A = this chain, B = another copy of it.
């Protein structure tokens, strides 16, 4: 699979994929005549990257995690700890977002009430 196809499928840009690779998150991806050809393993990895990124991990943290992954089974406990910590943080983030959404909804209700009064006055 070539870079633009991957970019489209995963809703990111080709430069971003190259950037991820340069940062050591992805690949090195196999080249055919110098052109990247993403395999199943690359796509699985990309899937993981998008997942933990959405969960709040930075590029640097993902990079470190990938590096540990590449060290093999010796790092498995540490990796598990990192992921569990990240899960915990993500849940906090999730709770805060839920709270802010509730808050926003209330503010919208307030503005709506105000809007009605303004409309009546006109």
Contacts and interface: CB of A to CB of B under 8 A. Distances in A.
Q: How large is the interface on A (under 10, 10 to 19, 20 to 34, 35 or more residues)?
A: 20 to 34
A70 to B, nearest CB: 15
Interface string A102-114: 0111011001101
Given A76-B111, A83-B108, A86-B104, A54 B97 contact: yes
A107 B54 CA distance: 14
Interface string A33-66: 0000000000000001011101100000000000
Contacts of A94: 94, 97-98, 101
Nearest to A105: B87
Interface of A: 48, 50-52, 54-55, 73, 76-77, 79-80, 83-84, 86-87, 90-91, 93-94, 96-98, 100-101, 103-105, 107-108, 111-112, 114-115, 118
For the complex of A and B, the 7 pairs showing the least CB-CB separation, nearest first, are: A54-B100, A51-B103, A73-B118, A83-B108, A55-B100, A76-B115, A51-B100
